[in-house]
Chains A and B, each alone.
Chain A
Amino acid sequence: ILNVEQSPQSLHVQEGDSTNFTCSFPSSNFYALHWYRWETAKSPEALFVMTLNGDEKKKGRISATLNTKEGYSYLYIKGSQPEDSATYLCAFHAGGTSYGKLTFGQGTILTVHP
């Protein structure tokens, strides 16, 4: 079983704060790293799929970086808003014969207080 770790487990911030969290994954046999945003009572929605070492992706106030050599990715949220409150999941896609199989971390629960 692949080890995908996310930290912190939960985070409380005030509206307007910027925040970031970490996803750690195996540094070998890398194919892609996915980030998903998961609101309560909904299904996870894709934020980014990252494939290249040094990759940086941005969607509005959310951005992510990738370091495949050391096996980590950071997700940043600039100027957090209450609607950013959700669980943020990362998922590791190994190469080789894993096909489309994703191994998910346990998620970081973000709560943004007005």
Chain B
Amino acid sequence: NAGVTQTPKFQVLKTGQSMTLQCAQDMNHEYMSWYRQDPGMGLRLIHYSVGAGITDQGEVPNGYNVSRSTTEDFPLRLLSAAPSQTSVYFCASKEIRSNQPQHFGDGTRLSIL
């Protein structure tokens, strides 16, 4: 059982480049989300989705796009990378409206030069 799989684990980009962080889960969870983790800031929600075709903004959505074409996949796109987007990104999934915990991927460490 793979759980939540994120790729890549590490990436270095130049300012202005675009890229997509991949996230896939095999637990048939309706709810998926992306967080960024910065020192002293905890986990901040970027975007989330409550099912295929449904996405919404979180706390810090600017500079990021998401789509949810299938239940399993929830990619995060950086349109034009900026140094302020240097961070560790976590994807997570859970059942909607349930008392089960959220499952996290292993994270993607992204550096923007």
| Residues of A participating in the B interface, judged by any CB pair closer than 8 Å | 1, 31-32, 34, 36, 42-46, 49, 51, 89, 91, 99-107
CB of B96 within 8 A of CB of A102, answer: no
Q: Which partner residue on chain B sits nearest A34 by CB separation?
A: B101
Q: Which partner residue on chain A sits nearest B44 by CB separation?
A: A104
User: Quick one: which of A36, A43, A99 contacts B107, CB cutoff 8 A?
Assistant: A43
1/0 per residue B32-65: CB within 8 Å of A? Answer: 0101000011111100101000000011000000
Q: How far is the CA of A46 from the CA of B96 in the complex (A)?
A: 16
Query: How many residues in B have their beta carbons less than 8 Å from beta carbons of A?
Result: 29
Q: How far is the CA of A32 from the CA of B33 in the complex (A)?
A: 18
| Residues of B participating in the A interface, judged by any CB pair closer than 8 Å | 30-31, 33, 35, 40-45, 48, 50, 58-59, 90, 94-107
Q: How far is the CA of A36 from the CA of B94 in the complex (A)?
A: 14
Q: How many inter-chain contacts with C-beta < 8 Å in the A-B complex?
A: 63
Q: Which partner residue on chain B sits nearest A100 by CB separation?
A: B31
Q: How far is the CA of A104 from the CA of B45 in the complex (A)?
A: 9
Q: How far is the CA of A102 from the CA of B40 in the complex (A)?
A: 18
Q: Which partner residue on chain A sits nearest B29 by CB separation?
A: A100
CB of B102 within 8 A of CB of A46, answer: yes
Residues of A within 8 A of B94 (CB): 100
Q: Which partner residue on chain A sits nearest B91 by CB separation?
A: A43
Q: Which partner residue on chain B sits nearest A47 by CB separation?
A: B101
Given the contacts A43-B107, A89-B43, A106-B40, A100 and B101 also touching, CB distance less than 8 Å: no
* A74 CB, nearest partner CB in chain B, Å: 19
CB of A99 within 8 A of CB of B42, answer: no
* A44 CB, nearest partner CB in chain B, Å: 5
CB of B107 within 8 A of CB of A106, answer: no
User: Quick one: which of B40, B42, B96 contacts A104, CB cutoff 8 A?
Assistant: B42
CB of B41 within 8 A of CB of A100, answer: no
Q: Which partner residue on chain B sits nearest A42 by CB separation?
A: B106
Q: List 24 A-B contacts (CB under 8 A).
A: A32-B99, A42-B106, A43-B90, A43-B105, A43-B107, A44-B43, A44-B102, A44-B104, A46-B103, A89-B43, A99-B30, A99-B50, A100-B30, A100-B94, A100-B96, A100-B98, A100-B102, A101-B33, A101-B48, A102-B45, A102-B102, A104-B35, A104-B45, A106-B41
